[in-house]
Amino acid sequence: MTQPVTASFTKFLPKVELHAHLSGSISRQCLHEIWARKKAQDARFAVEDPLVIMPLGKVDYSLPTFFNVFTKSIYHLVNDLESISYATTSVLRDFHADGVTYLELRTIPRNSPTASFTKEEYLATVLRAIASFTSAHDISVRLILSLDREKMGPAEADAIVSLAIANKPVVVGVDVAGNPTKGDISVFGAAFAKAKANGLGVTVHFGEVDPPAREDELDTLLGFNPDRLGHVIHVPGDVKREIVRRRLGLELCISCNVHAKMFDGGFFDHHFGEWRLEECPVVLCTDDMGFFCSPVSNEYLLAAQHFELSRADIVRICRKAVGVIFGGEEEKKRLHRLLDEFEATYTE
């Protein structure tokens, strides 16, 4: 009889994470610590304790609530270079502790609202935190720079892509993210073409809401020639067939989709069950671990529990995920070697 997939198994599995957002992955405890420091420095600091806004154990956040917390809390807490460095290191520590061996962390470079730092200084701070952490821990970390679909136009998108190109090879790709009910993503066509021409990977948030912000949005996104798609929840049949034809990598976020009620149904109804039967590589991801409190190991455990997956099934999913990382061939060889070593330690 084969051994069941357990929490210990999925934690020690050498995993990749390809869809995690930096700001959304900051733990509530880390945010509380940043808040406490700011409150101690200035008793008039008006931002509410994040443990009050996001009580421990609460994971059911609608999309409007989700974006509201960023606007009213997180962006007002992690708004100086010291806090950005502290939060980035905390996020890396959490992924490393969960057995993630390769991480593509995405973030939107922003200027400080108070003009205390530029988007270039923001990115440099994140890169320094990554370099410091990876020099002392066995994890490879890369960055994906995101374009904010609600707030950016063509000029700012081009500037972000230029920033990504200038910071290769740690920056490996670009993304379009933000509120899926807002904005016209067609304005990013030239920016994504520039990214592709300069060897960057392209991943896009795709089919998060039904209907999309614009009727032709999914076709427009596919026109950017992406390498991977995130979420892919609400996808018409003809679009799904095109995705399968291209064998695009799919970043699926089970907990986030269920808890945020991004579709009608629960874990058993998640579209992972359909996509895993297709030829596309499926990558299980956390999306926003700080909000939904589900590390990557738990995403694998949930998939095993609700879709009757064996240990061999889980390892196969991991191997396919390695094939769509943006980190290059040497990194893929390293990850396959780690999976070989792990596979040799368990018996069916």
Domain boundaries, the chain: 7-343
Question: Could you confirm whether 208 is annotated as catalytic?
Answer: yes
Beta bridge partners of 252: 284
Q: What is the residue-averaged pLDDT of the chain? A: 92
Positions of E strands within 99-192 = 100-107, 140-148, 171-177
Q: Which of 139, 94, 109 is nearest to 288 (CA)?
A: 94
User: Is the per-residue pLDDT at 69 higher than 80?
Assistant: no
pLDDT for res 325: 98
User: Is the per-residue pLDDT at 77 higher than 90?
Assistant: no
Q: How is residue 285 written in tokens?
A: 């991801």
The pTM (predicted TM-score) of the whole model is 0.94
Q: Pinpoint the alpha helices (H) of 74-118.
A: 75-77, 81-97
Average pLDDT over residues 211-228: 95
Residue type at position 131: A
User: Is the per-residue pLDDT at 169 higher than 80?
Assistant: yes
User: Is the per-residue pLDDT at 140 higher than 70?
Assistant: yes
Residue 269 in contact with residue 70, Cβ under 8 Å? no
Residue 306 in contact with residue 81, Cβ under 8 Å? no
* Lateral strand order in the sheet of 228-231: 15-17, 100-107, 140-148, 171-177, 201-206, 228-231, 249-252, 282-284
User: Is the per-residue pLDDT at 326 higher than 70?
Assistant: yes
pLDDT for res 61: 64
Of how many residues is the chain composed?
A: 348
Lowest mean pLDDT, pick from 14-28, 60-74, 322-336: 60-74
Q: Which residues contact 237 (CB under 8 A, 6 or more apart)?
A: none
Phi first, then psi: what are they for 202, rounded to 5°? Answer: -125, 125
Cβ-in-10-Å burial (0-12, 13-18, 19+) of 216 comes to exposed
Q: What's the rounded Cα separation, in Å, for the pair 218 and 181?
A: 13
pLDDT tens for 153-163 read 999 999 999 99
Average pLDDT over residues 256-275: 93
Catalytic residue among 208, 217, 251, 299: 208
Average pLDDT over residues 13-17: 98
pLDDT for res 223: 97
pLDDT for res 110: 87
pLDDT for res 99: 97
Cβ-in-10-Å burial (0-12, 13-18, 19+) of 94 comes to buried
Q: How is residue 24 written in tokens?
A: 């959304």
pLDDT for res 72: 64
Q: What's the rounded Cα separation, in Å, for the pair 162 and 10?
A: 38
User: Is the per-residue pLDDT at 62 higher than 70?
Assistant: no
Q: Give the containing element (helix H, strand E) for 17.
A: strand 15-17
pLDDT tens for 237-252 read 999 999 999 999 999 9
pLDDT for res 1: 41
User: Is the per-residue pLDDT at 15 higher than 70?
Assistant: yes
Q: At what angle do helices 329-343 and 311-322 cross, to 10 degrees?
A: 170
Q: What's the rounded Cα separation, in Å, for the pair 216 and 238?
A: 13
Average pLDDT over residues 272-293: 92
More confident site: 115 or 111:
111
Rama region for 180: left / alpha / beta (φ>0; ψ in -120 to 50; rest): alpha
**What confidence category does residue 11 fall into, taking pLDDT thresholds of 50, 70 and 90?**
very high
Q: What's the rounded Cα separation, in Å, for the pair 58 and 291?
A: 8
User: Is the per-residue pLDDT at 202 higher than 90?
Assistant: yes
User: Is the per-residue pLDDT at 102 higher than 80?
Assistant: yes
Q: Which CATH architecture has domain 7-343?
A: Alpha-Beta Barrel (3.20)
User: Is the per-residue pLDDT at 66 higher than 80?
Assistant: no
CA end-to-end distance (rounded Å), the chain: 7
Q: How many CB atoms are located within 10 Å of the residue 156 CB?
A: 16
Q: Which of 204, 205, 172 is nearest to 102 (CA)?
A: 172
Q: Give the containing element (helix H, strand E) for 59.
A: none
More confident site: 78 or 234:
234
